[in-house]
Amino acid sequence: MSSTAKNKLPEVEIPDVRTPKILQNQKALVTGANSGIGKGIAVELAKAGADVVVNYIVDPDSAHDLVDQLKEQGIASFAFKADVSNEANVIEMFHQAVKELGAIDILINNAGLQRDAPFEEMTLEQWNKVIGVNLTGQFLCAREAVKIFKKRGVNREISCSAGKIIHISSVHEVIPWAGHANYAASKGGVMMLMKSIAQEVAPHRIRINSICPGAIRTPINKSVWSTPEAYDKLMELIPYRRIGETDDIGRLAAWLASDHADYINGTSIFIDGGMTLYPGFATGG
Ligand code: BGC
């Protein structure tokens, strides 16, 4: 696009909206909740009225600070350290969550990481770490949540469904990503994990979906947004011409977990400013 045409584009506006109380009396567990997208989701769920378990693995101070911040919304919250790729840790976390909050209605399967490397240099350790947390971790947490949801069944006072799981996937469940084969494989795996369990447990009134973020402003991916040059380069991949904010994802998660979205089941929702529109084809191809 020529610079004259670029100059005519409207300024970016960030939404100024209030999250409605659509999750009153619901209990949510958010994995990897103490930073980035997980934190943005925990904050919005609390604003929507849900009690929130803040799972974390590193940096306990940030988890405890978040718990204090969430409690200011008048909800119950506590932090729980657990490695989502460790079966015993996960079982213990769900046990504690039910013990302290009385139930779990919503699982946000968010914990995830990257260990990037050119393919021929990728170590088995890098591969296993990413698959372990991003895919096996989502399996282990979903399995415990499904057991709890099935056992309790539907409580009409709380929600139309027995429970909701939201997998945090990525645009990279469909966009291949050179130099990140382990990460893209884990997110492709999350897609079929989500769809297969959704198909299996839907008759039990359990609703399972994925959220697929594009580039979101988090501390982890600072290199892609923190300098004007990097930001301009990133915008070539985003037709809507702004980076996503963690509360963009949080608001979607709160809505998707609520009865407003009751008929949405087994679907990946992309929230990416149009990254999956393959913007290179706007002028190429
Ligand atoms: C990754 C980000 C990346 C985005 C778009 C996400 O899944 O975590 O680091 O910027 O995909 O490529």
Mutate which of 113, 133, 135, 172 for ligand 1? The one with the most ligand atoms within 8 Å of its CB, which is 172
C-alpha to C-alpha distance for 187 and 252, rounded to whole angstroms:
19
221 CA distance to ligand 1 centroid (A)?
8
CA of 217 to the centre of ligand 1 (A): 10
Q: Whose CA is nearest to atom 10 of ligand 1?
A: 215
CA of 170 to the centre of ligand 1 (A): 7
Atom index in ligand 1 nearest the CA of residue 275 equals 5
56 is catalytic: no
Measured from the CA of 272, which atom of ligand 1 is nearest?
Answer: 5
**How many angstroms separate the alpha carbon of residue 197 from the centre of ligand 1?**
25
The DSSP code for 11 is: P
In the predicted structure, residue 5 carries a pLDDT above the cut 90: no
Instruction: Please list, in sequence order, all residues whose beta carbon lies within 8 angstroms of the beta carbon of residue 260, skipping any fewer than 6 positions away.
Output: 22
CA distances from 223 to 219, 233, 239 (A): 9, 11, 20
Nearest-CA residue for ligand 1 atom 4 is 215
Q: Which residues line ligand 1 (CB under 6 A)?
A: 170-172, 214-215, 221, 224
Average pLDDT over residues 56-75: 98
**Which regions of the chain does DSSP assign to beta strands (E)?**
27-30, 51-56, 77-81, 106-109, 163-168, 206-213, 268-271
- Residue 7: the pLDDT is 66
Res. 76: pLDDT tops 60: yes
Q: What is the pLDDT of the chain when averaged over all its residues?
A: 97
Which domains are delineated in the chain? 20-282 (3.40.50.720)
- CA–centroid distance, 66 to ligand 1, in Å, is 24
Q: Distance of alpha carbon 57 from its chain centroid, rounded?
A: 16
pLDDT band at 2 (very low <50, low <70, confident <90, very high): very low
For residues 170-183, average pLDDT? 98
- SS3 category, 235: helix
Write the residue with the smallest CA distance to atom 9 of ligand 1.
Answer: 221
Q: Has residue 213 got a pLDDT over 80?
A: yes
Q: Is it the case that residue 146 has pLDDT exceeding 80?
A: yes
Tell which one of 110, 115, 138, 170 to mutate to probe ligand 1, the residue whose CB is within 8 A of the most ligand atoms. 170
According to the 3-state scheme, what is the secondary structure of 184-207?
Answer: HHHHHHHHHHHHHHHHHHHHHCEE
pLDDT digits (tens, 9 = 90+) for 220-251: 999 999 999 999 999 999 999 999 999 999 99
Name the active-site residue from 56, 183, 231, 240.
Answer: 183
pLDDT for 6: 56
